Chain A
Amino acid sequence: MMNRKKKIVVIGGGLAGLALAMKFCERNGEVTVVSYQSLKRSHSVCAQGGINAAIDAKNEGDTPEKHFYDTIKGGDFLAHQPLVRDMCYQAPAIIHLMDRMGVAFNRTGEGHLDFRRFGGTLYNRTAFAGATTGQQLVYALDEQVRRHVHDGSAKTLEWHEYLGAVLDSEGICRGAVIHDLRTDEIYTLQADAVVLATGGPGQVYARSTNSVVNTGAAATTAYLQGAKYANGEFIQIHPTAIPGQDKLRLMSESARGEGGRIWVPRDANDKRNPKKIPESERYYFLEERYPLFKNLVPRDVASREIYDIVYNQNLGVSGDPMVYLDLTHKSREFLDNRLGGIMDIYTKFTGVDPRETPMKIFPAVHYSMGGLWTDYGPDNDGLIDHGSPRNQMTSIQGLFAAGEADYQYHGANRLGANSLLSCIYTGLMMARGIMNYTDSLEKSVEDIPSTVFDDTRAHWQNRFNDIKKMDGTENPHKLHHELGDIMLANVLIVRDNKSLDKAVHEINDIETRFKDVKCLDTNDWANPSPSFINQLYCMIHLSKIITKGALMRDEFRGSHYKPDFDLHQPKDFDPHEYIDYLEQKQYGEVSQEKFPADHLTYMKRFEENNEKWLKTTVAQYKDNQPEITYEEVNTSLVTPRPRKYD
């Protein structure tokens, strides 16, 4: 049908977008990468600790199957299993590929890749380049894409913003509306497919570990255009970040992977210099409460424990909401070699050297497990058919999503060092499916009437003209901060329906006040104000998705912790009992003698809860509100069971 090359528009220059761009160029396609800023500056550079692959370099018996299980369990069984399994099986090849591209991964004495520990696993599975692994991976992919730009197969549109998809009369995505952030021009790009690799939405909380560009606006626009948004309420709170005004700077999990210990003084009134507090007077609460995983419990668990120590036990350092992350028992040389990047960040922003003094840290909003709903094509071996056009396609035909912008890989809680993997994996994996999708189209983009493009462009031009005319009394940046305050106060680590309900109303107030916003700058050159107002509008809608999803989900799963619905796992419970229980049930009666009574009650409640809530949350835009429904999760490979890390 088409004699020309297949052409796609990739929105976002982070790991997912760059990986896809490279792969699509190799498949002889034509790619335009649209980026809000210069390439090399995307939020992926902030990832620090590493990227997971079960290469078993330390002869511990690690396998991709174990990586798969750890990831599924870490995500509290909410992720679609064939996808996660496929990702884990592809991981070793991805690491070797990145190594071939020249990523400066730390190495062993023999010159092979070195690996370290991370949360939620007992294996050394994380490859790393110092403590700036994300930056190094972005640079390597950016270099490959630059090579394709040099050869003429890829094109970049930096300092351009994605505003929305161009949908034809059948609702098929035929291109993208682009806003030139310098000239203010708004125009459309025709494409056989559009891919949103636009990252996460941390700015909805105003202060998080996320970068300035992470507003989630592109994904939200897709939702406002009819795409499904899934699992929005699952927001990861990273246990260790430096408190700050403009940003909460991440202190990588690798600090604990390399031996860092979390503690507080046993006595809340102990004001001594931490180095002077003897070991016996320190409370290493993660080590005591989780003797098996110790400081490397998954992030949701660690954040809840720190919250408990600070707010329920009142044991925060000097009465402040902070705990110690201590690496002072390690040598300077070791720390500089393996964690240099984060040692520098801590020193520069606090003026304190973490090689000499324990760091003071607190949890911070970090990652969205949720994102645009995307599809997948399973094969018959419990893996993914990489040629399936369904892979990574949103519920809008022809519009795809990848990386943090999608929802499929981390369930209810992401394991550390799996985000870089899921970003690169999705980017690489989806290329062939997109090629096949474009082959399957009955009508080519050239057959679409030009009015479809003209009308969409006009819609967005009008929208921006209207924004520029906004002359109310509300400052959009202050309003953004207030929205963030609402989310931080009510939709964070510990959730309850009263606060969530309050947040829903407060967000509605913000939405009302949004109509009275003032556009602070009406110039038509390099003017960020109208864009920000449009992004704020999106953030308000995204905060509704997150909050309503959280309000409606009456259970405790992964990062979504509602104490009122905690099933209270008995202390001496072994998750294997649950497998026995299910097996007995399958063959008839459950023996009442075999299980302690409280275990049996717990297991029954666990099973009932899963029947009701082991579901993907799906939000769809209806009457200005998210309409929430639930979908089945693919648990065809591993039986969901209670999580346990102690």
Chain B
Amino acid sequence: MTEKNLTLKIKRQDTPGAAAYWQTFEVPHRPFANIISCLMEIQKSPTTGDGKKVCPVTWDSNCLEEVCGSCTMVINGRVRQACTALVDNLEKPITLEPMSKFPVIRDLQVNRERMFENLKKVKAWVDIDGSHDIGEGPIMTDQDRAKRYVMSECMTCGCCLEACPQFTLDNAFLGAATFNQVRLFNLHPTGEMKKEDRLNAVMGEGGIADCGNAQVCVEVCPKNIPLTESIADIGRQTTWQAIKNIFTK
């Protein structure tokens, strides 16, 4: 074997309340290895660099091709998907940390339930009459479809929220991913019928007005979703909604 060893420094935590600690692991450096394949190597030989046998590191992953959104972590200080983080492109030694804006479950696993709860708050769905056969969907231009498609690629991975200075562990800020969903569904001919509900949901505490315009969300999004455009657009839509609310209430 001509493989050189690769050093990974990993921030670990046994339980949600416990203190975090760092451990260092050596794994074989193979061509096109990514962070997940390195973590798999640790599972096969869970021994730290100084020879201590430990429990394998735990992490979340599933598709390993950046469409499921599971494997978000902070790699060399930057939040991203671990599956597309090829070690050849990373500075060494590599550091891995769990996201800091979500409660840690264990090691690199965090609890992102808040993101899914937010989808309920803004009713991120199309209210269809039922799944029985009532014919075709609405006509739509391919340009509008393309605009929606880019937004609908959001994997609820959490990168944008980890990077956002406004989003913290204990506040109620909805964040870029959620605002993007409001725009996505407001752009659909049927989804638009519940537009007001969604806009009213992002007008209160933690809503769109709390966005500090740091614009880092768009930089870290692995799917290149135009999040700042979505935020600006939802900002405009809520302004109109607020005015409308004054006259209708």
Whether the Cβ atoms of A135 and B153 lie closer than 8 Å is yes
Q: How many angstroms from the CA of A568 to the CA of B185 in the assembled complex?
A: 55
Judged by a CB distance under 8 angstroms, whether B37 is at the interface is yes
Across the interface, name the chain A residue whose C-beta is closest to B15: A525
A192 to chain B, nearest CB (A): 21
Q: Output the least CB separation between A107 and chain B (Å).
A: 4
A426 CB to nearest B CB, Å: 14
Q: Tell me whether A132 and B67 are in contact in the complex, defined as CB-CB below 8 angstroms, given that A105-B145, A111-B142, A146-B125 are known contacts.
A: yes
| Binary B-proximity of A216-259 (CB < 8 A = 1, otherwise 0) | 00000000000000000000000000001111011000000000
Contact string, B182-206, partner A, CB cutoff 8 A, digits 1/0? 0001001011000000000000000
Please determine whether B136 and A99 come into contact, CB atoms closer than 8 angstroms. yes
Q: Are B30 and A43 in contact (CB under 8 A)?
A: no
Docked pose: A107 CA to B143 CA in angstroms: 9
**Closest Cβ–Cβ distance, residue B39 to chain A (whole Å):** 9
Closest A-chain residue to B139, C-beta based?
A111
Q: Report the Cα distance A182→B58, complex, angstroms.
A: 12
In the complex, chain A residues 334-374 whose Cβ is within 8 Å of any chain B Cβ: 337, 341, 344-345, 348-351
Question: Bound complex: CA of A40 vs CA of B105, how far in Å?
Answer: 19
**Smallest distance from the beta carbon of A197 to chain B beta carbons, Å?**
16
B153 to chain A, nearest CB (A): 6
For residue B105, which residues in chain A have a CB less than 8 angstroms away from its CB?
182, 526
Q: Is the CB of A478 within 8 A of B125?
A: no
Report yes or no: A525 in contact with B14, Cβ–Cβ below 8 A.
yes
Within 8 A of B (CB), among A132-156: 132, 135-136, 139-140, 143-144, 146-147, 149-150
Asked if A102 meets B30 with Cβ closer than 8 Å, knowing A130-B149, A135-B153, the reply is: no
From the candidates A100, A144, A520, name the one contacting B190 in the complex (CB within 8 A).
A100
Contact status of A112 and B139, CB under 8 A, knowing A26-B130, A246-B34, A526-B58: yes
A643 close to chain B: CB less than 8 A: no
Contacts of A528 in B (CB 8 A): 58
With an 8 A cutoff between CB atoms, is A428 at the interface? yes
Let me know if B45 and A475 touch, CB within 8 A: yes
* Complex CA distance for A341 and B65, rounded to whole angstroms: 10
Binary contact track B145-163/A, C-beta < 8 Å → 1, others 0: 1101100110110000000
* B70 part of interface (Cβ distance < 8 Å): yes
Residues from chain A with Cβ under 8 Å of B191 in the complex: 102
Interchain CB contact under 8 A, B55 and A348: no
Q: How far is the CA of A104 from the CA of B191 in the complex (A)?
A: 13
Q: Residue on A with the closest CB to B124? A: A143
Determine chain B's interface SS by DSSP, over half rule: loop
- Contact of A452 with B by CB under 8 A: no
B66 interface residue per 8 A CB criterion:
yes
Interface size on A, residues (CB 8 A): 73
A106 and B142 contacting across the interface, CB-CB below 8 Å: yes
User: Are A97 and B62 touching (Cβ within 8 A)?
Assistant: no
Q: Contact between B65 and A46 (Cβ–Cβ < 8 Å)?
A: yes
Chain A positions within 8 Å of B70 at CB level: 37-38, 41
Question: With contacts A38-B112, A130-B149 known, is A143 near B125, CB below 8 A?
Answer: yes
B40 contacts A341, CB within 8 Å? no
Instruction: Give chain A residues whose Cβ lies under 8 Å from the Cβ of B145.
Output: 104-107
Most A C-beta atoms less than 10 A away, residue of B14, B126, B142: B142
Q: How far is the CA of A107 from the CA of B135 in the complex (A)?
A: 17
- B229 is an interface residue with CB less than 8 A from chain A: no
Cross-chain pair count, CB within 8 angstroms? 186
Residues of chain A with a CB closer than 8 A to B185's CB = 102
Q: Can you list, as one digit per residue, whether each of A468-505 has a CB less than 8 Å from chain B (1) or not (0)? A: 00000001011001000000000000000000000000
B86→A349 contact, CB < 8 A: yes
Q: Does B133 sit within 8 A of A, measured CB to CB?
A: yes
B127 CB to closest chain A CB, in angstroms?
7
Contact B84 A349 (CB under 8 A): yes
- Give the nearest-CB partner of B126 in chain A: A102
What residue in chain B is nearest A114 (Cβ atoms)? B142
Interface residues of A in 164-222 (CB under 8 A from B): 182, 211-213
Instruction: Name A526's contact: one of B66, B106, B133 (CB within 8 Å).
Output: B106
A289 within 8 A of B: no
Query: Would you call A560 an interface residue if the criterion is a C-beta within 8 Å of the partner chain's C-beta atoms?
Result: no
Chain A residues in 8 Å Cβ range of B33 = 245
Chain B's closest residue to A135 (CB) is B67
Contact, CB under 8 Å: A23 / B131: yes
What are the interface flags for B172-183 relative to A under an 8 Å C-beta threshold, 1 for contact and 0 otherwise? 000000000000
A477: chain B residues at CB < 8 Å are 40, 43-44
B56 is an interface residue with CB less than 8 A from chain A: yes
**Chain A stretch 68-120: residues in CB contact (< 8 A) with chain B:** 93, 96-97, 99-102, 104-112, 114
- Given the known interface contacts A46-B67, A523-B55, the answer about A96 and B136 at a Cβ–Cβ threshold of 8 Å is yes
- Is A550 interfacial (CB-CB < 8 Å)? no
Given A43-B63, A520-B55, A528-B58: A348 and B142 within 8 A (CB)? no
Q: Which of chain B's residues have a CB closer than 8 A to the CB of A529?
A: 55-56
| A143 close to B58 (CB less than 8 A) | no
In the complex, the chain B residue whose C-beta lies closest to that of A19 is B131
Nearest residue in B to A342 (C-beta to C-beta)? B65
Q: Does A590 contact B (CB under 8 A)?
A: no
Please tell me if A45 contacts chain B, counting CB pairs below 8 Å: yes
A residues in contact with B138, CB < 8 Å: 100
> Which residues from 1 to 58 on chain B have a C-beta closer than 8 Å to any C-beta of chain A?
14-15, 30, 32-34, 36-37, 40, 43-46, 55-56, 58
Q: Is the CB of B131 within 8 A of A26?
A: yes
Across the A-B interface, give the 7 residue pairs with the lowest CB-CB distance, nearest first. A99-B137, A143-B125, A104-B149, A111-B139, A526-B106, A246-B37, A93-B133
Cβ contacts A to B, 7 pairs, < 8 Å: A40-B69, A100-B134, A147-B127, A249-B64, A249-B65, A349-B32, A526-B15
Known A-B contacts: A41-B68, A135-B153. Give 13 more (CB < 8 A). A22-B131, A38-B113, A39-B116, A43-B62, A104-B149, A129-B152, A149-B120, A244-B32, A245-B30, A428-B131, A477-B40, A520-B56, A526-B58
